[in-house]
Chains A and B, each alone.
Chain A
Amino acid sequence: MRVAVASGKGGTGKTLVSTSLAWLLARDDHPITYVDADVEEPNGHLFLHPELSDCQRYARPVPQLMGETCSGCGECQRFCQFNAILALPDRIMLFPELCSSCGGCVLACGEMALGEKPREIGSIETGTAWTETRCPIRFMAATLDVGEARATPLIGGLLDRIEDRGIVLIDAPPGTSCSVMEIVRGADLVVLVTEPTPFGLHDLVLAVEMTRALGKPVTAVVNRSDLGDDHTRQYLASQGIEMAAEIPFRPELAEAYAHGEIAAAASTELCSLLLPLERRLVAEASS
């Protein structure tokens, strides 16, 4: 079962919740994979401290000129919707950073003058997190190269490599754009982490609309639940969305986080707060 841990707003506690859930499930002997899909700013490794067994560069296809058969007709430039090709009278200029890797220019070229070559945009890592739990946490993460613009293809590559054994927790980037959609589309359940502030609520509404557009079941975790107002709870109730957990602000949680510790490992209170959600995941994964 794949569970996406997402949020509209950034910094609401996705990584805190997903690493804590992974730790709890492992502690209770459930096979678990943690996947860090926040490829622009991946942080899960800072808390799970995994031993990496494999790191592969990830590449996506972009066009390249093959041989001397280009007649300069400009058909490739006319086809490309992403302005990645400029056909000048005497040569073709390619802008791979703008390319969407659709492959259409190669098909459109009547002279068979275009082929494809791989362009590296990031790395995909796999490993194992040996926490003090009995069962290890399988760890996967991807990191976008600094300066690369498009995260979605790398996220797709990461998701393709997941082995669906037991519960797979996917730590998503913030927002509701296509890279988050890519993750939510393949999820069986979406856990939205939010906070009871006007910003949290505004972005939660967008995230709920996104999950609805994709027809995914959703549950919510309200973090720093005592620092804010009641509108978020009212909204969740009005939408019939179950509140899986409310996590109050606790200095010891902030401190554990600041020391790179898994919050659940440092707080028995957090363990009991997340227990109903853990039970739900276990029940749904085995059904």
Chain B
Amino acid sequence: MKQLVVISGKGGTGKTSIVASLAYLSASETPVTTADCDVDAANLALLLPGEDIRTEPFWSGRRANIDAGSCSVCGLCAEQCRAAAIRIEDLAVVDPLACEGCGVCELVCPEEAVFFVDNQAGVWMERRTAFGPLIHAALGIAQDNSGKLVAQVREEARTVAERDDIGLILVDGPPGIGCPVHASLTGCDLALVVTEPTPSGEHDLERVLKLLDHFRVPAAVLINKHDLSPEFTARIEALARRAGTQVVGKLPFNPEVPRALARGEPPLAVEAVAAPLAEAWERILALLSTSAYEGKHSPRLESVSVRTSTEAG
């Protein structure tokens, strides 16, 4: 089984619409499993219509509660809580949105007034689509641990892919470079980084390529809206070359794309974008069939300046 993750660093470069397009392209030959790992703002289901045949709760962590009958309002819990989740009023009051469930309040409470309730942090769902199964999820408002929910979505995607004997999982990753991104890309055979020709796109691509190198996941780059800036497209191509990463395609900007998305159709439905997308898909498939981390750990990327390397001030 192969797993392709699509990430970007910068948000809004077109990850989800490209994953949906790849699902269309792939499913024209054989069904594919898709996994929406942007659990903070899950949008892939908007482009892959179908019926959710399963909805399961996602439990993660716990929240402190204080028994008003036992609390002596001594204030020790509020003093020791580093999440600043407890206010002392007439009673000690826990802010469930700030509580991390660490248990320090319970440890220091002389009255044993603290108790915990399990926290439902969201739900995950299996959808049946014309392209194959989709695992998607919704993290509850103001919930942490999206990395754990991402891990759960990927685990379920592997399970249904094995169940249905499907050879490819397409993972729609979250923006950024933090915990949920790590959870999205570990164990993937290839990461497709979707970027755009802007200073932000270039800056964020550097950081994402460094992250992929750190986790030793092979990378490929797709430049979206390349014609908006030939200058930055050239800079991104140069950056990819320095990092030893193939640019598998360049998609033109086309105002029909947002109109197609508004109809629930992927960019593949727009003729000007469909041909370069199909060519990119062929190159991605070629990379997937041979992909293995080539141990290019860092020397080439060391020359790429990244703002995080600042020493202690």
Report Cα–Cα, A210/B105, bound state, in Å: 26
Does A285 make an interface contact (CB < 8 A)? no
Report Cα–Cα, A146/B228, bound state, in Å: 29
Does A269 make an interface contact (CB < 8 A)? no
Does A217 make an interface contact (CB < 8 A)? no
Question: How would residues 106 to 147 of chain A score, 1 for a CB under 8 Å from any chain B CB and 0 otherwise?
Answer: 011000000000001011000000000000000000011111
Report Cα–Cα, A223/B207, bound state, in Å: 26
Does B290 make an interface contact (CB < 8 A)? no
Are A174 and B175 neighbours in the complex by a CB distance under 8 Å? yes
Which residues of chain A from 241 to 287 have any CB-CB distance to chain B below 8 Å in the complex?
249, 254-255, 257-260
Are B16 and A199 neighbours in the complex by a CB distance under 8 Å? yes
Are B46 and A202 neighbours in the complex by a CB distance under 8 Å? yes
Are B262 and A206 neighbours in the complex by a CB distance under 8 Å? no
Does B271 make an interface contact (CB < 8 A)? no
Does A173 make an interface contact (CB < 8 A)? yes
Report Cα–Cα, A101/B174, bound state, in Å: 25
Nearest-neighbour CB distance to chain A for B289, whole angstroms, equals 29
Does A64 make an interface contact (CB < 8 A)? no
Q: How many residues of A contact B (CB 8 A)?
A: 70
Are A258 and B179 neighbours in the complex by a CB distance under 8 Å? no
Does A12 make an interface contact (CB < 8 A)? yes
Q: How large is the interface on B (under 10, 10 to 19, 20 to 34, 35 or more residues)?
A: 35 or more
Are A150 and B178 neighbours in the complex by a CB distance under 8 Å? yes
Does A88 make an interface contact (CB < 8 A)? no
Does A228 make an interface contact (CB < 8 A)? yes
On whether A228 and B107 interact (CB within 8 A), knowing A147-B211, A202-B41, the answer reads no
Does A175 make an interface contact (CB < 8 A)? yes
Are B10 and A43 neighbours in the complex by a CB distance under 8 Å? yes
Does A20 make an interface contact (CB < 8 A)? no
Residues of A near B264 (CB, < 8 A) are: 198
Does A72 make an interface contact (CB < 8 A)? no
Residues of B near A149 (CB, < 8 A) are: 147, 178-179, 182
Q: Chain B binding site: helix, strand, loop or mixed by DSSP? A: loop
Residues of A near B13 (CB, < 8 A) are: 11
Residues of A near B258 (CB, < 8 A) are: 195, 197, 224, 227-228
Residues of A near B255 (CB, < 8 A) are: 227, 249
A46 is contacted by which of B102, B108, B203, B261 (Cβ under 8 Å)?
B203
Does B295 make an interface contact (CB < 8 A)? no
Are B175 and A41 neighbours in the complex by a CB distance under 8 Å? yes
Which residues of chain A from 1 to 22 have any CB-CB distance to chain B below 8 Å in the complex?
8-12, 15
29 pairs from A and B in contact (CB 8 Å cutoff): A8-B40, A9-B11, A10-B10, A10-B12, A40-B178, A41-B175, A41-B176, A43-B10, A57-B310, A81-B100, A100-B100, A107-B80, A146-B207, A149-B178, A175-B40, A176-B41, A176-B139, A177-B139, A177-B142, A177-B143, A177-B146, A178-B142, A178-B144, A197-B258, A197-B262, A199-B16, A202-B41, A202-B46, A258-B231
Q: Which residues of B contact A (CB under 8 A)?
A: 8-13, 16, 40-41, 43, 46, 61-62, 80, 82-83, 97-98, 100-104, 107-108, 139, 141-144, 146-147, 174-179, 182, 197-200, 203-204, 207, 210-211, 214, 228-229, 231-232, 255, 258-259, 261-262, 264, 306-308, 310-313
8 nearest A-B pairs in the assembled complex, by CB-CB distance: A11-B12, A10-B11, A102-B102, A40-B176, A175-B40, A149-B179, A258-B229, A46-B199
